[in-house]
A and B are shown apart, each in its own frame.
Chain A
Amino acid sequence: MTHHLLSLIVGAPAAAALVLFSVPATEKLFVRIVALTGALISLAGSIAVLATYNLSEGGFQLRETYPLVPRLNISLSLAADGWSVALLLLTGLIIVAGVLASWTLENRQKEFFITLLILVAGVFGVFVAQDLFVFFLFYEIAVLPMYLLIGIWGSSHAITEGGPFKYIWKLFNIGDKQYAAMKLTLMLLVGSALILVGILAIYSNGGHTFDLFALAKAHYPHHMQLFAFVLLWVGFGSLAGVFPFHTWSPDGHASAPTAVSMLHAGVLMKLGAFGLIRVGMILLPDGAHFWAPFVGTVAVINIVYGALAAMHQKDFKYVVAYSSVSHMGVVMLGAATLNVLAWNGAVFQMVAHGVMTGLLFALVGHVYERSHTRDTQRMGGFATVMPGVATFFTIAVLSSLGLPGTAGFVAEFLVFLGAWHSAYSWWAVAGVVGAFVTAVYVLTIARRVFWGPPDPVKQFHELRDVRRTEWGALWILGAAIVVLGFWPGLISSHIDKATVANLQQVNGAAAVTLNDSGHATRSTVGWAKQSDAHRVRPSMMGSAPLHPSYALTRPMPAADRCRSAPPIQRAGSRAPDATTATVVMR
């Protein structure tokens, strides 16, 4: 059974979709049960992967290979490493919760589930694909159904702007579901086109194979890497919501139906970040190093700017949508930092944000469904009528502002720790400020909608709390947030295993030398080199050298935290010729 575990995970939703084709739409309960079964099989498979993955061995496991187009060296090759384990689990959780959350959907439920399940099969596929071509294929399968899902089942009741800009909103139909669906699809497809070019560049320079393992071993010309990395950054970045290619995201998420928002913000945006790391950074280390300062800075912009933009929103769904933009910035910041901690944090944030934003969208969708408005200024005191929703919203909000004890904290903290170790320590500070801004707006929105006196109009006094299956969705996601917050080791050791291996790939490929004073310098050109050579930290902060970064191949003194061990004394361990300034390593 374990030999086909991954194809089971990928295949179950697709098979369920196939079964649904032949089920009459009038058999509503049966349709739902089939969809739920498909989702549950995937979730169970994901949990089985978590359980069977051999942590001490690491690397890619559960490998399956079926030749697809032998003449082009394309094969359907699946395998899972630590990252896949975590992300499969995330996707499993979200799809089950998503099916439960759309249990009572009225409009063409069968077709909805079919599209949703096909989409999710694509998502699962991306996370385990070991063949670049198949990777891209799954990627497209995951992206394309969005058009239908938003265009058919979406909602067009955005709170539009008044005043002088009303005209612009009307002109472009902003807030309309067709507009949102079209914008999302077009922007993502343009991104896909760029990715395709990047992938072809990799294919033709990497020995005409699509096998990721072989491609990782290949050596790519420096300038090709710089060029292709930009393509991949823009392409995958569009899906990851990177500024300034994020504008599809608020509109799309706001217009999408509940389950789709959950899945899209929760999982699909991660495909972008995951793709950028797995294809962009691991295959093109030179490009990654060269552009890292730029990518990281843009990510910081994402964090702060997304949070600020979210603060302004009056539309409930837009608030959550912009918060996704902000949180994906954390992922991208972690990715750009290119060290173990930050990458761990980035992947952890993918999971944490996925669960959290899934929960948020489920709740927002529920509130919208019941109250028929998205205008937060008309809401108030919903905690009285829907205490369950209010409670879970508070949990999600606390995770969103990075409260310890929730998954969000572990992720953000790891990213900040890693970012401090980069050449750009201010990234960490800016990230923390972004987290504070998040705290400001999420608490405002929680107070405006849920707490405070019940609305005076008495319009919302008849609203109902969540019921039956919807509880399932909330509990799954809420529990995941808290469990991962208190017990990050559940997946963090898996993530770490993969991160260390992958990072070795990235940093091993770029030449690293140790100079006389024991500090690493990198012999890459461009920004990276400049930053290494010239970015010098004034002695004010640390005449004690920094904690060695990943770039140092020298083994680190084991920072074993057992209490009997003496504290690490760094002040005395300085290299004799180190000046008062410390070269900051990236």
Chain B
Amino acid sequence: MAELQQNTETADTKSSSFYRDFLTKFGALFGLLILCIILSFSTEYFFTVDNMFNITRQASIIAILALAVLLPILTSGIDLSVGSLLALSAMVMGVVSVNWGLGPVLGIISCLAVGAFFGWLNGLALTKLRLPHPFISTLGMMNIARGFALIITGAAPIAGFAFSIQYIGSGSIGPVPVSFLVVIFLYVAMHFFLTRTTIGTYIYAIGGNKEAARLSGINVDKILILVYTSSGLLAGVAGLVMVGRVDSAFPLAGMGYELDAIAAVIIGGASLFGGIGTVWGTMIGTLIIAVLRNGLNLLNVSSDLQMTIIGAVIILAVYIDVLRQRGQTKEA
């Protein structure tokens, strides 16, 4: 019977599958390249070493938040609280390390711990309270955490962080921003985690079919809690980088960033229905947005028009992806 079904198996030979893989992986990258080429021709300031690192520095915070929302999205969830958690962990770090004078190490630890803790609460709300969709629990958390971030110092910003903290957000090694290195490290680690470990596979499985995952013996709740805790932790890291970048923690930091981060993840090819998405796609999605913002600034486009253009590019980027995938299905 093996031979029977052979030719429903089609022209999908090794080489065409390689080609398809290539496209799938590098489709968004292609869009990014086109964007870069257009900008290089439009403004002489764009394609300079300086500006390239400028972009990576500007992209770093959204890049980390995008990673933070990638995980829940892979499980067919979402995390709307990352922007607020960024602010809250930054404020706590300020209080601990500056106001209480306990120094950078304890500050950083508390920053990450706060992020992870509130992320864990998101996970609990989803799994233990059995809220139907994390949209609602993380929307609630978005408000709760923002409120706390405001209350904690009565809305006063905190400045005067230790050099080591500033270094993470604004230092460079040679011309390379430290924040960019942080991003690279996180992305490599996450890629490895998602593709090489059992838990990584389970995350995709849960996003694909939660009930099937459960019936396959996967402890779905445990994994979901881990996912939301990691998401919060990453928001904490983003808070750390943000503070380093502006040398101040302020309670309205990161407002609305969650939508940018989600957009980056989806431009990068992930599906809101779960189970589909990659770390590299996310990186490219982030860069598309960052490059676009930077380029439009360099072209001196007003911020109003920038909004409209970015909106159009979001749709365009995803549409290109749709076209590409359709092309694939047709020819393969």
Please indicate whether A and B come from the same complex rather than being unrelated chains. Answer: no
* A interface residue numbers (CB < 8 A to B): none
